[in-house]
Structure 1
Amino acid sequence: MSDDTLRLGVVCSGPTMPAWQAECLRRLEATTDTRLACLLVDDSPVDSNGSGPRRSGGLSRRLLDDHCQSMTPVDTAEELRDIEQFGCSIRTRDGRRRLDEVDDAVVADAGIDALLAFAVDRAADSVLAAPPLGVWAFSHDGAGSPPPGFDELLAGDPVTTAELWRLAPDGEAVPLRRGHFATVEHSLRVTADQVRFGTARWPAQVVTDVQNGHGEYVDGDPVSVEWGGDRTPTAGRVALAFGKQTKALADIALQGAANWTVGVIDAPIAEVAADPDGVEVEWLQLSERNRIVADPFVAPVGGNPYLFFEDLRYDDGKGTISYLPLDGDYRPDRIRPAFETPYHLSYPYPVVHEDTTYVVPEMAESSDITMYELHAPDEWERVATLVSGNRGIDPTIVEYGDRFWLFCTRLDDLPQTNLYVYHAPHPTGEWVPHANNPVKTDVRSARPAGTPWVDDGTLYRPSQYCAGGYGKKVIVNRIQTLTPTEFAERRVGELTPDPEGPYPDGLHTLSGYGDVTVIDGNRSVRDTYHARRRLQLAGRAALGRLPPSPNVVR
Structure 2
Amino acid sequence: TTVLTLPPGLQDSGRDDGVAALGLDLVIMLGALPPPRARVASWTRHGIWRLSYSDIAVSTSRYAGFWEVYQREDHTTVKLWRVGASTEEDVLLDQRSFNTEVFWLKNQTRAFSLGNFMVYDALLALARARPGAAPPGMQIMSGQRRDDPAEWDSAAYIARQAWLMTDLIVRRVMGRNVRWRIGMFASTRQQAVVSEAKVLQPPKGRFFADPFVYMRGENPYIFFEDYDFHSRKGTISVATYENGAFQLLGTALNLPYHLSFPYIFEYEGVTYMVPETCGNRSIELWKCTEFPLKWELDLTLMTDVSAVDTIIFKRGEYWWLLTNIDRTDGQNHCDELFAFFADSPRSSHWTPHACNPIVRNPMRARNAGIVVSPGGEVIRCAQYQGFCHYGKGVSLNRIEELSPSTYVETDGEIHYAGFLKKRHASMHHWHHQGGHTVFDFAYME
Task: State the one-letter code of the partner of 2:341.
Answer: H
Deviations 1:70-101 (A, max 9, x none): xxxxxxxxxxxxxxxxxx669xxxxxxxxx99
Match of 2:353 in 1: 434
| CA deviation after TM superposition for structure 1 residue 329, in Å | 4.3
Give the 5 Å matches for 1:348-497: 348-375=262-289, 376-410=291-325, 412-413=329-330, 414-429=332-347, 430-453=349-372, 459-468=378-387, 469-497=389-417
Deviations 1:395-424 (A, max 9, x none): 111222221221222352521222222221
- Whole-angstrom CA distance in 2 between matches of 1:229 and 1:155: 14
Task: Kindly indicate whether residue 6 of structure 2 is the aligned counterpart of residue 42 of structure 1.
Answer: yes
Task: Kindly indicate whether residue 38 of structure 2 is the aligned counterpart of residue 120 of structure 1.
Answer: no
Task: State the one-letter code of the partner of 1:180.
Answer: S
- Whole-angstrom CA distance in 1 between matches of 2:95 and 2:145: 20
Q: 1:242 aligns with which of 146, 149, 158?
A: 158
Task: State the one-letter code of the partner of 2:258.
Answer: H
Task: State the one-letter code of the partner of 2:276.
Answer: E
- Whole-angstrom CA distance in 2 between matches of 1:248 and 1:143: 31
Task: Kindly indicate whether residue 211 of structure 2 is the aligned counterpart of residue 296 of structure 1.
Answer: yes
Match of 1:515 in 2: 435
- Whole-angstrom CA distance in 2 between matches of 1:517 and 1:118: 50
- Whole-angstrom CA distance in 2 between matches of 1:194 and 1:328: 50
| More divergent stretch after superposition (486-495 vs 510-519) | 486-495
Match of 1:182 in 2: 99
Unaligned runs of 5+ in 2: 135-140
| CA deviation after TM superposition for structure 1 residue 232, in Å | 2.9
| More divergent stretch after superposition (377-386 vs 407-416) | 407-416
CA contact (8 A) 1:266 1:515 kept: yes
CA contact (8 A) 2:77 2:143 kept: no
> Measured at CA, do residues 111 and 489 of structure 1 come closer, stay the same or move farther in structure 2, by a change above 3 Å?
farther
Task: Kindly indicate whether residue 150 of structure 2 is the aligned counterpart of residue 150 of structure 1.
Answer: no
| CA deviation after TM superposition for structure 1 residue 467, in Å | 2.3
Task: State the one-letter code of the partner of 1:136.
Answer: W
- Whole-angstrom CA distance in 2 between matches of 1:475 and 1:228: 26
Task: State the one-letter code of the partner of 1:292.
Answer: F
| More divergent stretch after superposition (382-391 vs 469-478) | 469-478
- Whole-angstrom CA distance in 1 between matches of 2:297 and 2:27: 49
> Measured at CA, do residues 446 and 254 of structure 1 come closer, stay the same or move farther in structure 2, by a change above 3 Å?
farther
| CA deviation after TM superposition for structure 1 residue 439, in Å | 3.3
- Whole-angstrom CA distance in 2 between matches of 1:193 and 1:500: 35
CA contact (8 A) 1:419 1:446 kept: yes
Aligned length: 424
Match of 2:137 in 1: none
- Whole-angstrom CA distance in 2 between matches of 1:398 and 1:282: 28
> Measured at CA, do residues 237 and 400 of structure 1 come closer, stay the same or move farther in structure 2, by a change above 3 Å?
same
| CA deviation after TM superposition for structure 1 residue 342, in Å | 0.7
Unaligned runs of 5+ in 1: 1-35, 45-51, 53-87, 91-99, 219-224, 526-554
Q: Percent identity?
A: 26
Give the 5 Å matches for 1:70-149: 103-104=16-17, 106-107=19-20, 109-121=21-33, 124-140=37-53, 142-149=58-65
Match of 2:169 in 1: 253
Q: What CA RMSD, in Å, does the superposition of the two structures yield over aligned residues?
A: 3.0
CA contact (8 A) 1:114 1:132 kept: yes
> Measured at CA, do residues 455 and 470 of structure 1 come closer, stay the same or move farther in structure 2, by a change above 3 Å?
farther
- Whole-angstrom CA distance in 2 between matches of 1:309 and 1:129: 58
CA contact (8 A) 1:121 1:228 kept: no
Deviations 1:449-482 (A, max 9, x none): 0014359775431111112221111122233553
Match of 2:87 in 1: 171
Scaled by the length of structure 2, the TM-score of the pair is 0.85
- Whole-angstrom CA distance in 1 between matches of 2:435 and 2:231: 36
CA contact (8 A) 1:145 1:228 kept: no
Match of 1:81 in 2: none
| CA deviation after TM superposition for structure 1 residue 289, in Å | 2.5
- Whole-angstrom CA distance in 2 between matches of 1:406 and 1:462: 14
> Measured at CA, do residues 301 and 458 of structure 1 come closer, stay the same or move farther in structure 2, by a change above 3 Å?
closer
CA contact (8 A) 2:392 2:428 kept: yes
CA contact (8 A) 2:53 2:79 kept: yes
CA contact (8 A) 1:416 1:447 kept: yes
